[in-house]
Amino acid sequence: MRSHAASVNSPRPATRSIIRQALGEMDAAGIDFSLLSLTSPGVQGVVDPRQAVTRARVANDQLAEVVAAHPTRFGAFAALPLQDPAAAAAELERCVTQLGFHGALVNGYSNVGDADTGWYYDHERFLPFWERVEALGVPVYLHPRDPLAGNRGIYEGHPELFGAVWTFTVETSTHALRLMTSGLFDRFPGLTVILGHLGETLPFNIWRISHRAAFMGDLITFEKPLSSYLHDNFYVTTSGNFHTQTLNATLAEIGVDRVLYSSDYPYESMREASDWFDNAAISDSDRRRIGCTNARRLFPGLPERIGP
């Protein structure tokens, strides 16, 4: 098996065609199983909390239909209306306990009221949500989106830096650091968060971040070195970062048991991802763990028989 994360964002009439195409790409790339999710910004961009709750439920029901039609090829991450943290907790529980989903994927901060207002998940209003996540024992994938309009000044005149080129990385790594420095993982040590793109640069920068943060005096509201949270509470995927030197640096920092294979389809090519991974200069043992074993440990509900 190669576990893999993909995204689906389409009206229902187009879903069958999209799924057929995805299955064809998976077969050509040697990918047995994919976890589907709603692509960015998804529910997080819905400014009305009530509409967000409705849209999340509809999206999750549609994902459940796809999984039910192809149970040995697809699983799913729940879309969550974090504009209403209590509703998001309830929807996650429904998706995990009733629909068999393997966790959730959230596309960065959630807009509330208007497109210029965003809630990040380190705020105390989200503590009941995170408590439910820990109790359910499933991971939350923190997926990128572009920064709020009010935070884009440094990019003025450089639209080429938006999206996957750079702003996704800065936005998501900063959000992850907010979670760490807020003390969230001290309160809920069993939480697991997944970051794509080999950790959004955090594995390469965490020593300096952690080292300098230790000198912040009264600003410190967390109990452990920040590197400990990255090592203990995060997984990273290879999605869209098909570079062996970067992979090896990540393995050296957080260890092979915290890395998962992923391609970032449909934004990246499954075949390019698999060709790179099959030939990357890592041991066959590490290749098996990244491509299969780690996913089975993190997602214990995966079907025993996987593949076409």
**Annotated active-site positions, please?**
264
3-state secondary structure of 8: strand
> 110-112 and 114-119 as β-strands: parallel, antiparallel, unpaired?
antiparallel
Match 């996913």 to its residue by tokens: 295
Measure the CA–CA gap between 198 and 229, rounded to whole angstroms.
Answer: 16
Contact 121/44 with Cβ under 8 angstroms? Answer: no
Work out the burial of residue 24: count CB atoms within 10 Å of its CB; fewer than 13 is exposed, 13-18 middle, 19 or more buried. Answer: exposed
Instruction: Tell me the Ramachandran region of residue 199: left when phi exceeds 0, alpha when psi lies from -120 to 50, beta otherwise.
Output: left
Distances (CA, A) of 231 to 100, 228, 255: 27, 5, 8
Distance CA 54, CA 23 (A): 29
For residues 67 and 299, is the Cβ–Cβ distance under 8 A?
A: no
Distance CA 287, CA 133 (A): 29
The whole-angstrom separation of Cα 74 and Cα 265 is 14
Q: Which residues contact 282 (CB under 8 A, 6 or more apart)?
A: 244, 247, 248, 251, 290
Two tokens, residue 55: 């849209």
> Contact, 216 vs 188, CB < 8 A?
no
Cα–Cα distance measured from residue 89 to residue 83, given in angstroms and rounded to the nearest whole number: 11
